[in-house]
């Protein structure tokens, strides 16, 4: 099936709440014409990685009928330890997931992530969750998938999206086995080699991999002291090298590969041994691998995040080297930005062009992440020039402001969306402050907007079905009132009802009746 695209809808869709959720596994239908399958789902998501699972959960908060199609028959087994950075931890707190996630990870100070330059976290980071959580990626994926399913999302494994067609009313999605399903929107969260992006014909410009790194878990045949001594010396020149104990005698091993491959096949233990000998002069007696993998440093960004009724998020929209540990965080944050907007479109209250703010806000954020990973890769180079720049930056990071600027980039708490002229807080996320009822983020679990009113004079009036209201004169804020979007970004600051109404319309559409 070829993908075909309708012109972008010019007006809001109307809600279609009268449709019935059918017997999905048996659903088959021709792709077009009068026999087109009914719109059983509002949104089909291709891929149940962290981005797809987060998006499914966000959509379910608004009662959107969601089906997630995942190519893999089983959850992924190889354990990549990722770091959840401050902004992602804040998102988890905003949806009541933080406690569950904290149980499975290890907290670390939020410093030393920029190009692995070992500096402490800057002082007084503006967050109630100012740490990094080291956690295995499969655990994050499982928790987010469970959360989505608890909220009512359907997840079908062993189903690869192979094609789609879109028209004025929806998208017909074809699976690899020929089954066809229909929904109003399709979101490609299907990773860096995204089928959806390729079928959509969206360009993915950037640079191919220039370096490749082998990564795996295995046992070693020498004592820890020998490794520690060797490591310190080698890391003087090779920043992309480490052997770290992972527990129960297993080590996480990272070593630069000899060249760049097509990564179609995983590396062998012999590949690791050869590279360890070449760089460290010993293979440390590595044996009994648990899993072996390799990653490159290709850096690419999708030209568009939306074509009509098909959108892209997460690695499907951007890829970059894992320096600073940002990819998963970026994808989950894309989903958080998109979820409520797509839900608003489907529920029929989205203001004109709200959905397009997804690309307007998130594309520049990804551009910046790509750039900071490019810079970090240079700083990890073994060439004399980049090593000199690294030494200089290491000195500069002793200035707290420099260190802070870089860590705020990596942890995504420095993001400010362009909402127009206004105080510095406008467009930024609001930290989790104490309010009369406890914590501010505790009031955002339902994914609705929130007016925090210190004047006790304002009202959300006809928007109360979408926006909550909290009067709290004692709230720790140096402005009279803030209007928060469901993603916690500040959409308005002020104390004037008429001005507020204008901004409620801008973000939440027309007031009810
Ligand atoms: C070595 C390494 C270390 C990393 N460390 C970090 C870190 O510390 N912090 C961090 O934030 N990020 C890190 N990352 C990046 C992170 O792993 C990715 O950015 C993240 O997995 C992207 O999530 P995603 O859901 O967008 O895509 P993916 O995780 O790739 O998920 C896509 C899903 O789509 C499925 N799929 C693919 N094609 C189809 C199809 N046609 N139909 C249906 N399903 C399909 C796949 O099976 C997969 O489950 C690291 C990456 C590497 C390589």
Average pLDDT for 440-463: 97
Q: Which two tokens stand for residue 7?
A: 């012109």
Average pLDDT for 183-208: 97
Note whether 249 and 217 are same-domain residues: yes
pLDDT of 4: 36
- Whether 397 lines ligand 1, by a CB cut-off of 6 Å, is no
Note whether 188 and 152 are same-domain residues: yes
381 band by pLDDT with thresholds 50, 70 and 90 = confident
- Ligand 1 closest atom vs CA 195: 41
Please give the Cα distance from 147 to 57 (Å, whole number): 7
Average pLDDT for 266-275: 94
468 band by pLDDT with thresholds 50, 70 and 90 = very high
**Last residue within a domain, chosen from 310, 344, 368:** 368
**Last residue within a domain, chosen from 296, 315, 335:** 296
Is the pLDDT score of 386 beyond 50? yes
Note whether 187 and 66 are same-domain residues: yes
Note whether 272 and 314 are same-domain residues: no
- Whether 314 lines ligand 1, by a CB cut-off of 6 Å, is yes
234 band by pLDDT with thresholds 50, 70 and 90 = confident
- Residues with Cβ within 8 Å of residue 113, at least 6 apart in sequence: 83, 85, 132, 324, 325, 407, 410, 411
CB atoms closer than 10 angstroms to residue 382: 12
Average pLDDT for 454-483: 96
Q: Which structural domain range is residue 255 located in? A: 212-296
Q: Over the stretch 328-341, which tens digit does the pLDDT of each residue have?
A: 999 999 999 999 99
Ligand 1 centroid from CA 65, angstroms:
24
Q: Over the stretch 81-101, which tens digit does the pLDDT of each residue have?
A: 778 999 999 999 999 999 999
Q: Which two tokens stand for residue 35?
A: 């026999």
pLDDT of 326: 95
70 band by pLDDT with thresholds 50, 70 and 90 = very high
Ligand 1 centroid from CA 315, angstroms:
6
pLDDT of 437: 86
Note whether 149 and 270 are same-domain residues: no
Please give the Cα distance from 267 to 260 (Å, whole number): 12
pTM of the model: 0.91
The DSSP code for 358 is H
29 band by pLDDT with thresholds 50, 70 and 90 = very low
CB atoms closer than 10 angstroms to residue 118: 8
Please give the Cα distance from 24 to 18 (Å, whole number): 17
- Whether 51 lines ligand 1, by a CB cut-off of 6 Å, is yes
Average pLDDT for 483-490: 98
Total number of domains constituting the chain: 3
Q: What angle do CA 198, 203, 208 make, to 5 degrees?
A: 95
pLDDT of 458: 98
Q: For residue 351, which phi and psi values (nearest 5 degrees)? A: -65, 155
Note whether 200 and 224 are same-domain residues: no
Ligand 1 centroid from CA 434, angstroms:
35
The CATH number assigned to the domain holding 450 equals 3.40.30.120
Greater model confidence, 441 or 37? 441
Q: Over the stretch 41-67, which tens digit does the pLDDT of each residue have?
A: 999 999 999 999 999 999 999 999 999
pLDDT of 30: 35
Q: Residue 110's closest CA among 411, 382, 371, 335?
A: 411
Note whether 222 and 274 are same-domain residues: yes
Q: Residue 71's closest CA among 57, 95, 52, 98?
A: 52
Of the listed ranges 13-22, 118-127, 314-323, 421-430, the least confidently predicted one is 13-22
pLDDT of 37: 65
Distance, C-alpha 431 to centroid of its chain: 19
Residue bearing the CA closest to ligand 1, atom 19: 327
pLDDT of 25: 30
Greater model confidence, 8 or 79? 79
Mean pLDDT of the chain: 90
Please give the Cα distance from 196 to 476 (Å, whole number): 45
In contact, 430 and 488? CB cutoff 8 Å: yes
Note whether 160 and 269 are same-domain residues: no
In a domain, 275, yes or no: yes
In contact, 472 and 453? CB cutoff 8 Å: yes
In a domain, 387, yes or no: no
The beta strand positions in 97-233, using DSSP E, are 106-109, 131-136, 154-157, 161-166, 171-175, 180-188, 206-207, 212-219
Residue bearing the CA closest to ligand 1, atom 20: 328
Note whether 466 and 360 are same-domain residues: no
In contact, 485 and 338? CB cutoff 8 Å: no
pLDDT of 36: 61
- Residue entry with tokens 């229909």: 182
Average pLDDT for 382-405: 95
Note whether 191 and 232 are same-domain residues: no
Residue bearing the CA closest to ligand 1, atom 2: 322
**Last residue within a domain, chosen from 245, 266, 296:** 296
For a ligand 1 pocket test, name from 74, 113, 138, 190 the mutation site with the most ligand atoms within 8 angstroms of its C-beta: 190
In contact, 78 and 293? CB cutoff 8 Å: yes
């Amino acid at each position: 099936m070829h993908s075909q695209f309708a012109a972008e809808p010019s007006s809001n869709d109307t809600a279609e709440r009268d449709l019935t959720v059918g017997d999905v596994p048996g659903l088959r239908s021709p792709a077009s014409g009068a026999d087109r399958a009914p719109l059983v789902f509002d949104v089909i998501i291709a891929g149940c990685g962290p981005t797809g699972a987060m998006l499914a959960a966000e959509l379910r908060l608004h009662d959107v009928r969601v089906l997630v199609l995942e190519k893999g028959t089983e959850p992924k087994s190889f354990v990549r330890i990722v770091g959840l950075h401050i902004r992602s931890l804040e998102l988890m707190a905003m949806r009541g997931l933080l406690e569950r996630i904290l149980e499975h990870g290890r907290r670390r100070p939020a410093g030393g992530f920029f190009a692995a330059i070992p500096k402490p976290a800057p002082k007084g980071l503006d967050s109630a969750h100012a740490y990094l959580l080291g956690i295995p990626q499969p655990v994050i994926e499982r928790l987010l998938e469970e959360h989505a399913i608890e909220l009512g999302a359907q997840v079908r494994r062993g189903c690869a999206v192979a094609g789609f067609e879109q028209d004025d009313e929806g998208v017909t999605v074809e699976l690899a086995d020929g089954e066809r399903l229909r929904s109003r929107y399709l979101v490609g969260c299907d990773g860096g080699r995204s089928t959806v992006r390729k079928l959509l014909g969206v360009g993915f410009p950037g640079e191919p991999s220039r370096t490749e790194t082998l990564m795996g878990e295995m046992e070693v045949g020498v004592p820890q002291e020998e490794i520690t001594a060797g490591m310190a010396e080698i890391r003087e020149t090779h920043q992309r090298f480490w052997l770290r104990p992972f527990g129960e005698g297993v080590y996480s091993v990272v070593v630069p590969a000899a060249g760049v491959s097509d990564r179609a096949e995983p590396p062998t233990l012999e590949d690791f041994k050869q590279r360890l000998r070449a760089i460290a002069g010993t293979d440390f007696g590595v044996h009994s691998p648990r899993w072996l993998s390799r990653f490159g440093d290709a850096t690419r960004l999708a030209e568009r995040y939306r074509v009509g009724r098909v959108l892209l998020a997460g690695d499907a929209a951007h890829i970059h080297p894992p320096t600073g540990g940002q990819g998963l965080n970026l994808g989950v944050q894309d989903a958080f930005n998109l979820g409520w907007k797509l839900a608003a479109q489907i529920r029929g209250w989205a203001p004109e062009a709200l959905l397009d703010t997804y690309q307007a806000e998130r594309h520049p954020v990804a551009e910046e992440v790509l750039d900071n990973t490019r810079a970090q890769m240079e700083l990890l180079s073994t060439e004399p020039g980049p090593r000199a720049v690294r030494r200089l930056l290491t000195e500069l990071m002793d200035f707290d402001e420099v260190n802070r600027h870089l860590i705020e980039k990596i942890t995504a708490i420095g993001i400010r969306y362009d909402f127009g002229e206004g105080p510095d807080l406008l467009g930024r996320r609001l930290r989790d402050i104490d309010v009369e009822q406890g914590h501010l983020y505790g009031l955002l679990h339902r994914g609705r907007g929130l007016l925090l009113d210190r004047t006790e004079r304002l009202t959300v009036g006809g928007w109360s079905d979408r926006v909550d209201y909290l009067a709290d004169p004692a709230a720790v804020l140096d402005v009279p009132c803030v209007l928060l979007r469901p993603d916690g970004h500040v959409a308005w600051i002020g104390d004037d009802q008429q001005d507020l109404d204008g901004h409620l319309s801008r973000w939440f559409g027309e007031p009810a009746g």
